[in-house]
Structure 1
Amino acid sequence: MSSATVSAPAARHAKERRRLGDHVAGWSFAGPATLIILGFALVPMAWALALSFTDSDLMKTPENVGLDNYRALFQDQVFFQAVRNTGLLLVLYIPASLVFGLVVAVLLNRKVRGIGFYRTAFLVPYVASATSAGLLMGYIFDRDFGLMNGVLVQLGLPMQGFLSSPSQAMYVLTLIFFWTRFGFAVVIYLAAIQEIDKAVLEAASIDGAGRWATFRHIIVPSVRPITVFLAVWGVIDALQFFDLVMTTTQGGPASATVTIVYYVWQLAFRYSAAGYGAAVAYTLFAGTLLLIVVGLVVARRRGAVR
């Protein structure tokens, strides 16, 4: 038997031992953190699922009510109002954040004086505290003493209710949410645009393609996977809309700005209906998962993602 025949299995075993050692070393570092993260995610999810089948108020011993909490959703007008408000936020915010995010990213992808300042200016609202942004915007859009109504009066226009108006409050909140969040889309789009092959852009310019043709036929197709990612991210972000409602309108006026997550908070911590609130939360989870799956399937069929 040759030495090559003997050494080949030994080398293979040595390689397997090294690979096993790498896995052990890796999991020894990542394992504890992974267990902690899973514990803080999976355990509360399982507990909330069990809670959704009870009449728990987080104080007394809960009683099993089966599917009664889920059946009650179909008779809950506030829940349907929260769904409509959240749906309006999705319909207005997602397209606006994608379109304006891409356009602004294209404008910021230039070598001009002070470009670093402009890029930072669009990112600051995103990294700023949502609570401080809500308090600031609450003063700006105040019906009696707000800056916006002061500007309208100076222009000779009638004062508006803004956050105090049932017909305007959700639109104003959507505008505030857009202002605080779309900077993330700008940064991600800007990074994607800068990864486009410069030779492709130069070839398009040599062939006589203008800015609009370059944007439509090169930039937009190149960042299509990023658009899908930002759309999914935006759906998750919008469906978790809570902090601005808490710091500005508290769901009012007349439940005009109650969102699903804010309604879950009200049920659990204001009305002591934790079991019913858990049912609403799991309904939101199922709806979010359905929207994401449908969106990814449509994007894959259109070739936007693999």
Structure 2
Amino acid sequence: MTRGERPRPAVSIRGNATIRRNATAWLFAGPATLIIVGLSVFPAVWSLLLSQQRWDGITAPRYVGFRNYTALAADPELYDAVGHTVFFTAIFVPASLVLGVLLAVALNRRIRFLAFYRTCVFVPFVTSAAATGILANFVFEPRTGIVNGGLRMFGIPAQGFLEDPGQAMFVLCLVALWGALGFTVVVYLAALQDIPAALYEAAQIDGASRWQMFRRVTLPQLLPVTIFTAVWQTITALQLFDVVFTTTRGGPVGATRTIVYFIYHQAFERAEYGYGSAAALSLFVVSVIITIGMMVYARFKRIEAF
């Protein structure tokens, strides 16, 4: 520094360095962020506009206001789809939570081939829906399926499974559980490994049995994760589509037509894009309400789930 030159403040130098680091970070993350935001915001805004129009994708759209929503409120097909979705959710969510906890507890022990077992549980979660649907059709096919072949060996009559209106939804629940159970197991397994060992040692000193330790120590410690997982699985159940599309296509006789498949049917099979968009936005609003309700409940109970 020459005579008469004033020293630059250190704060200014640090500030310029921070700006350069932030600019460099946004230079790398900016394009991907714009793509993700664009793919999320643009379809949502377009769906909002389409929900107030009547458009078949060919002719000019016609503004109808909220008539699509009023028509939804009186559509018996929608009520059937809602009933099927609620039925699926009522089975899928509790079953995924209970089985997830049990499998996570079993895989949290030091046993032989532990990595192999964990991989077997998680692989179905990363398997594509198309492969899952093809496998389900092969396993539960009424005439040549593996399951009915096993039943015949024990003298049990063959079942209709995916072709039986009374059994199809139960089979879909089983297939969806097979594909989604890996997620809940991994989440619970991570939560189990974060529980302090001192809690179990104190309970063991007090004479608690394994069941008492599971009930009084493990389950309370897993409550925040359980609420988060319940919200996640509920949203997953409400958005059930891929398994239905690759197996039953909403059949037989509409017995497995869920809300999202109803939206697909209206928009892409009947070419009623405005009506389908109104149904999609209604589902979005319901999902947001459920999520906010669970978050408020967690905050009210002082459970750090989110």
Q: TM-score, normalised by structure 2?
A: 0.93
- AA aligned to 2:194 is E
Q: Output the amino acid matched with 1:103.
A: L
Once residues 73 and 204 of structure 2 are traced to their aligned partners in structure 1, the CA distance between those partners, rounded to angstroms, is 58
Number of the residue aligned with 1:256: 255
Instruction: Please tell me the residue identity of whatever aligns with 2:204.
Output: S
Aligned length: 300
Within-5 A mapping of 1:96-245: 96-245=95-244
1:265 corresponds to: 264
Task: Write the distance in 2 (CA, Å) between the matches of 1:21 and 1:221.
Answer: 46
Q: Quick one: distance in 1 between partners of 2:13 and 2:176?
A: 56
8 Å contact kept, 1:228–1:305: no
Please name the residue that 2:279 is paired with: 280
Structure 1 runs of 4+ with >6 Å offset: none
Output the amino acid matched with 1:37.
I
Letter in 1 for 2:29: A
Tell me, yes or no, if the aligned pair for 1:245 and 1:257 is still in contact at 8 Å. Answer: yes
Structure 1, gaps ≥5 residues long:
1-5
Q: 1: CA distance between counterparts of 2:100 and 2:203?
A: 23
- Deviating more after overlay: 147-156 vs 259-268: 147-156
Deviation at 1:205, TM superposition (A): 2.3
Structure 1 counterpart SS, 2:70: helix
User: Does residue 82 in structure 1 map to residue 81 in structure 2?
Assistant: yes
Structure 2 stretches lacking a partner, 5+ long = 1-5
TM-aligned CA deviation for residue 94 of structure 1 = 0.9
Correspondence for 2:3: none
CA distance in 1, matches of 2:147, 2:48: 44
Task: Name the stretch that deviates more: 79-88 or 211-220.
Answer: 211-220
Give the TM-score taking structure 1 as reference length.
0.93
Instruction: Indicate if the aligned counterparts of 1:130 and 1:243 stay in contact, CA closer than 8 A.
Output: yes
Per-residue CA deviation, residues 200-234 of structure 1 (Å, 9 max, x unaligned), is 32232233222112211222122222112211211
Contact 1:141/1:148 (CA < 8 Å) preserved in 2? yes
Matched residues in 1 for 2:275 and 2:125: separation? 33
1:74-131 C-alpha deviation (Å, 9 max, x unpaired):
2211111111111111111111111110111011111111111111111111111211
Cα distance, 1:199 vs structure 2 = 2.6
- Please identify, of 11-20 and 93-102, the stretch whose mean Cα deviation from structure 2 is larger: 11-20
Instruction: Spell out, residue by residue over 1:149-172, the C-alpha distance to the aligned partner (whole angstroms, 9 max, x if none).
Output: 222222222332211111211111
In 2, Cα distance between equivalents of 1:174 and 1:145: 21
User: Is the 8 Å Cα contact of residues 139 and 147 (structure 1) preserved in structure 2?
Assistant: yes
Provide the rounded CA distance (Å) in 2 between the counterparts of 1:98 and 1:276. 35
The residue identity in structure 1 corresponding to 2:298 is A
The whole-number CA distance in structure 1 between the counterparts of 2:143 and 2:70 is 42
How big is the shift at 1:18?
2.9
CA RMSD of aligned residues (A): 1.7
Deviations 1:181-202 (A, max 9, x none): 0111001111111122223322
Aligned residues: percent identity? 44
